[in-house]
Every structure is written in C-alpha cells, then in structure tokens.
Structure 1
Amino acid sequence: MRETIGRAASATGHLAATVTLVLGAQFLGGVLLIAVLGSFAGFGLWLLPETVLLVRRVAGAKRIQTAAWTGRRIPEAYRPVPAGLRERLRGVLGDPGTRRDLRWMAAHSGYGTLLFVLAVPLWPLGLAVDGVWSGLLRRRAVVLPLIGRLADLDARWSQALLRPSPEALLTARVEELAETRADAIAAHGAELRRIERDLHDGVQARLVSLSLRIGLVKRAYEHDPTAVRAFLDEAHVHAEEALAELRHVVRGIHPPILTDRGLVGAVRALAASSGLDVTVRADGLAETDGRAPAAVEAAAYFAVAEALTNAARHSGSERATVRLERLRTGLRAVVEDEGRGGADEAGGTGLLGIRRRAAALDGTVAVTSPPGGPTTVVVELPCVW
C-alpha cells in the first residue's frame, strides 16, 4: 500500500506540473494571438517570433518532464533561427517544429487539465476504498493506481504530439553530421600541423645535426683520427635523440602501448606517469571480452590523457579516478578529480580537442565542473564489440 501511495503521489506531482505548463501555454497562446493581430498593424512583427521561441521553451519543458516520467527522451528538431526580422519570421513560422508545438499546445490545454481534474477526486476515493479492499480482502489497491495511469496517458499523448517527424529527424541528423564532419576536419588539420611541427622542430633538426657530425667524421678520419671518436660519440647522442623525438611523434599518432597492452594497460601506464595518485577501474574490459576498434581505443586514450593533464595542471588536486566501462553500444571513459573545479572550455584547447576527437567518431563529451569541484569528464564512444 505504501508503494502504491508513493507512485500515486509522484503521478499527482507530474499532473500538477502539467497543469502549470498548461497555464503557461495558455498565457503564451494569448500573447501569440495579440502578436498575430498586431502584426497586421506592424507593431506585432517583432513580438511574433519571440513568442514562438517561448512556446518552444514550454514544449521543451514538457519534453523534459515526460522523459523524467517515462525514462525515454523526446528528441527536438528545429531549424536554425536566422538573423534579421524578416528572415526570423520566415524561419520560425515556416518551421514544421513550430506547427507541431502549436498543435501540442492546443491539445495539451485540454487533456492536461482534464487528467489533473480526474486525478484529484481519486485520492479520497482511493484511500477509502483501497484501504478497505487491501485490509479485508488482502488484495492490491485498485483505485490509486489509476492516477499513475492518467500520468501515463499524459506522457503517451505528449510523446505522440511532440515527437518530430522522420524527415525532421533526418534533416537534424544531417546537420549534426555536417557539423561534426567540420570539427573532424579541423581536428585532423590541427593534428597534421602538430605532427609537421614536431617533425620539423624535433626529428628533422636532430637528423640535420647527425648528418653534420657524420660529415665531420668523414673529414677527420683522414686528417685527425684522434677526433673521430669524439665526433662519433656526438653523432651517437644525436641519433638517440632523433629516435626519441620520432617515438614521441609516433605516440602522438597512435601510442604503441595501445597495441601491446590494450586500452586498460595503456591507461594504467598513463596514470602511473601523470604525477597524480590515480585509481583506474575497468568494467567489462578484460582481455577475454574482446577489444574496441583501434580508433575508439585511441580516442579514449587521448581523452583520458588530456583530462589527466588538465587535472595535474589546473585542478590543484593530488588524486583522480579513471573509469573505463564497456557499454552495450560502445565505450565510456570517465575521469574525475577532486580539485577546485570551475573548468572553462573556452579557456583552452584541451577540452575542445577531446570533443573534436569524440565527434569524429559520433561520440559525446559531458563536462561537469562546478566551483569547488569535483571536475568530471565523461566520454562516450559508440562502437561494435
């Protein structure tokens, strides 16, 4: 009985919030009517698109409320809002999402209020009837669960009215892929410039110096044999330095340790050299469980590396935690430090680089860093195991 009352209370809260949204939508409906009528006189032209955008926010709040009740997200699909009054009017009013929101707002004003009105008298009736029913007949409650059914109806109808059409979802997906493709191209260009810079400033400089030393050895071999040993020692040092620089460049492209040890082993080695006390946890990533594609492992590795570097430099914390999780549809990497928080993505290129790497693989990045900490970076990368 207690569990039934709890669910009924949650359903009542859902329906009460629904009525609040209904009142907000009705107010916006009145403002929208004034804007439409005023647009004929000219003064409502600037108000009309702003009111429609407010309607979108109310519809967005309903999507969030419905997702909280059902556990299933309702996607949004709106066209970008252009600049300029005339283009703004055309863009907002011509968007199929606007017509969908207005249709939902009109219907929701009716069924949202009706469902709440039906739920209120069910409380005294349910407490009276269900208490006797369960006490005497030892059966489950029959009236209070109806309140949850009413909330389910509200969520089901709202999902049907607010869900974008397949064409709108496809258009939004194409726009998203175009954006991530641009980010991937930018990240690829930045990576090529970094590799070129490393080769030019590091490996090439070492090899030029090595070539000069070998030339000196050839000259000294006939005229000053005693100097040959010193020149050979210098050439050997420069060859070692060139190899070290070349290994550094290769690690920046695809760390060999990933191939040798796998993602978990590579991250453990990364954590050991980070300068922090890092705890690494792996869930479902044993060697016998199979491995993610190389590109996914590399993206996860570099994301963890960048997050740990940021933590060591900026967080002020001495400890961090890395969690690697195998998901049914991909791989998740979570890095959390115990520092001061307040991480700003606009303040550097580290977090932006993580986002671009993830976006190139259709992945997502979520950063939570309130003032006072902690800072948590969650990277999810889709893949087939």
Structure 2
Amino acid sequence: MSETVKEAGGAFLHLVLGAALSLLCHLMIGVALFTAFLTATVIGAGVLPESVLLLRRLAGWERRRSAARSGVPVPEAYRPLEGPLPERVRLALGDPGTFRDLIWMAAQLLYGMFLLYAAMVLWIPALIVDGVWCGLVGRPPVALPLIGRLADLEAAWSRTLLAPSPAAADAVLAERIEQLTATRAGAVAAHGAELRRIERDLHDGAQARLVALSMRIGLARRAYDSDPATARRLLDEAQDQAEEALAELRHVVRGIHPPILTDRGLTGAVRALAASSGLDVTVVTDGADDGPRAPAAVEAAAYFAVAEALTNAAKHSGAAGARVELVRDPARLRIAVRDEGRGGADESGGSGLLGMRRRVAALDGAVSLNSPVGGPTVIEVELPCVW
C-alpha cells in the first residue's frame, strides 16, 4: 500500500509542476503578445529573439520533465540565433521549432491545469477506496494508479507536441552540416597558417642563428692552433648565438603549446599572462579549477584567446586595465575579457581575432565581440568542456 501511495504521490507532484508550468505559459502568452506588438512597430524587434530564447528554455524544462517521467528522451531541434539583429529575427521567425513551442504553450495552458484538477478529484477518494479494498483483500485496486496514468498522459502529450518535426530536424541537420563544413575549412586554413608561421619563425630565427653558430665554430676550429685568442673570441660568440637560438626555439614552442599550461594549468597560465601584459589586469575565476583538467586543446585555445585579447587591449584600446573572467561548469568553459578603452574594435582589421575565431570554432566553440565606439570592449569565448 505504501509503495502505491508513494508512486501516486510522485505522479501528483508531477501534475502539480505541470500546473505551475501552465501558469508560466499563461504569463508567457502575455510576453508573446507584447513581443508581437513591439516587433510590429519594428523599433522593438530586438525583443523577439530574447523572447524566443525564453520560450525555448521553458519548453526545455518540459522536455526534461517528460523525459524523467516517461524515460524517453525528447529531442530538440532549433536553429541557433546568432549574427546581427536582422538575422536573429529572421531565424527566430523562420524556425519551425518556434511555432511548435507556441502550440505546446497554448495546449499546456489547458491540459496542465485540467489534469491537475482531475488528480485532485481522484486523490482523496482514491486513498479511501484503496485503503478499504486493501484492508479487505490485501492488495490495492486501480484507483491510486489512475493518478499515475494522468501523469503519464501529460508526459505523452508534451512529448508529442515538443518533438521536432522531420522537416525541422532535417533543416537543423543541414544547417549543422553547413556549419561544420565551414568550421572544418576554417580549421584547415588556421592549421595551414600556423604551419607557415612556425616554418617562418624557424627559418628566420632559430635556423639562421644555428647557421651562424656553425660558421663561428668552423672559424674557431681553423684559428685554434694559429690564433688561440681569436678562437676563444669566436667560441664566446658561438655560445651567445647558441643561447639566442635556444630562446628562439622556446618562443616557437610556446606558440604551439605553452609549457606554462602544462606546469600551472589554465588559471596559473592566465595569471602569468595578466602579470606580463603591461595592463592592470584583474583575473576572476569561478569553477575553473574544479573537476578534472580540461583537454589540452581546450586549454590552449582559451590561453591564446586571452593572450590575443590582452595584446589587443594593450596595443589599441588605450585602457589602463582589463578584467579576465574564467567560468567553468560541467558542460563548458567561458572566457570573458573586458577593457574600458575607446572601443571600436573591428574584426576585419587584422588576423588576430580571425585566428582566435578559427581556433575556437575548430573545437565547436563560439566567439563574440562587442565593442561599441567609446567602449567598453568585451570578447567572450565559449568552449565545450564536459566533465
């Protein structure tokens, strides 16, 4: 009997949460109408993408509730709302998932409350009937399990309404393929540029110094018997050139994967960058050191993103300081670099930001730049980092 009551109580709680969600849908309908009015006036069109994102979060909560009740995952298929405002508005209006969410919201407003009322009508009589029947025959009838059937019915309806249509799933898949194709092309271009940079650094730096070192040693060898003083001077010069060649090689290695990342981790490496940037940099971390370390490629991308952002701030912003935030949760790593300089950063003006974007995109991450004239400039990087 107690197990049956417990299961019915869980189902009743599920229906109570569904009714609470119905109230949120009631409020969301008001938001949707207000958004439609603002969008019609054009000047308020910026509210539309944010309202659609809010609706997606609400539908996502119901997907998780339905999956927890039924044990069947409810997939989602949305187009990412990225780019300038007109593009985001177009994507929000053209996404089939938006209209399916609106239909679900209107339906949830009705059946969420109705099923809760039905459960409330059943609850007390069901307890009495099951208690009497169990006392007579030793097992409960089907009165209390009816409440579980109502919860299952709500989960099934939500799953049906929120499951993406085949057309929507195909559209999102096609867009994802296109995005991955562009990302792969960018990653190949970035890899080629990186190889050319390494080759150039080795040719113009370490290789040139090693050639000069070999010549100095050869001259010292010839002069060793006839002019020991000259041979000693040449060997001293060769030693200096060997040290310079080692410094060049260390510089090249740092450009591939900074050793400080291996030694100190991402937080320590970023603090070292901040200390050597020439700016008054504040580093704030939230969960960056929790859990296992991020993959080496993720740490390297985050490190170079911070390095590029601080370099740009020191060269172009005119700001005296900057702020670096590292936030890590079980799904992703977020980096934000902010300076209060003159702003007006233009991604097309140089290769640094483009290289950062390509490096991050190769790991299925995202980069956003917000730099209005007059400042501040904020560069945000998000990298997948599951643990």
Find the aligned partners of 1:63 and 1:322 in 2 and give their Cα distance: 28
Pairing 1:327-338 to 2, within 5 Å after superposition: 327-338=329-340
Cα deviation for residue 379 of structure 1 reads 0.6
Residue aligning to 2:19: none
Cα deviation for residue 76 of structure 1 reads 2.9
Cα deviation for residue 8 of structure 1 reads 7.2
Q: Secondary structure at the match of 2:373?
A: coil
* Contact 1:271–1:278 (Cα < 8 Å) also in 2: yes
Q: Say whether residues 1:188 and 2:188 are aligned partners.
A: no
Change (3 A) 1:169 1:245: same
Q: Deviations over 1:61-99 (max 9, x none)?
A: 86653323453697239xxxxxxxxxxxxxxxxxxx989
Q: Deviations over 1:340-380 (max 9, x none)?
A: 11111111111111100000100000111111111111111
Structure 1: 5+ residue stretches without partners: 25-57, 78-96, 116-155
Residue aligning to 1:17: 35
Find the aligned partners of 1:343 and 1:162 in 2 and give their Cα distance: 41
Residue aligning to 2:57: 71
Find the aligned partners of 1:267 and 1:307 in 2 and give their Cα distance: 12
Change (3 A) 1:20 1:216: closer
Cα deviation for residue 383 of structure 1 reads 2.1
Change (3 A) 1:306 1:224: same
Residue aligning to 2:327: 325
Q: Secondary structure at the match of 1:331?
A: strand
Cα deviation for residue 168 of structure 1 reads 2.1
Change (3 A) 1:314 1:163: farther
Q: Secondary structure at the match of 1:279?
A: strand
Pairing 1:1-385 to 2, within 5 Å after superposition: 11-18=29-36, 64-71=50-57, 75-76=78-79, 165-286=168-289, 289-385=291-387
Find the aligned partners of 1:190 and 1:312 in 2 and give their Cα distance: 24
Residue aligning to 1:37: none
Q: Secondary structure at the match of 1:379?
A: strand
* Contact 1:66–1:159 (Cα < 8 Å) also in 2: no
Residue aligning to 1:123: none
Q: What code does the residue aligned with 2:327 have? A: E
Q: Secondary structure at the match of 1:12?
A: helix
Residue aligning to 2:6: none
Q: Secondary structure at the match of 2:249?
A: helix
* Contact 2:205–2:245 (Cα < 8 Å) also in 1: yes
Count of aligned pairs between the two proteins: 283
Q: Secondary structure at the match of 2:383?
A: strand
TM-score computed with the length of structure 2 as normaliser: 0.64
Q: Deviations over 1:165-208 (max 9, x none)?
A: 22222221111111100000000000000000000000000000
Residue aligning to 2:20: none
Q: Secondary structure at the match of 1:165?
A: helix
TM-score computed with the length of structure 1 as normaliser: 0.65
Change (3 A) 1:340 1:157: farther
* Contact 2:31–2:51 (Cα < 8 Å) also in 1: no
Q: Secondary structure at the match of 1:341?
A: coil
Q: Secondary structure at the match of 2:369?
A: strand
Q: Secondary structure at the match of 2:278?
A: coil
Find the aligned partners of 1:75 and 1:100 in 2 and give their Cα distance: 8
Change (3 A) 1:185 1:161: closer
Find the aligned partners of 2:94 and 2:56 in 1 and give their Cα distance: 24
Structure 2: 5+ residue stretches without partners: 1-22, 61-76, 81-92, 107-158
Find the aligned partners of 1:318 and 1:162 in 2 and give their Cα distance: 53
* Contact 2:205–2:248 (Cα < 8 Å) also in 1: yes
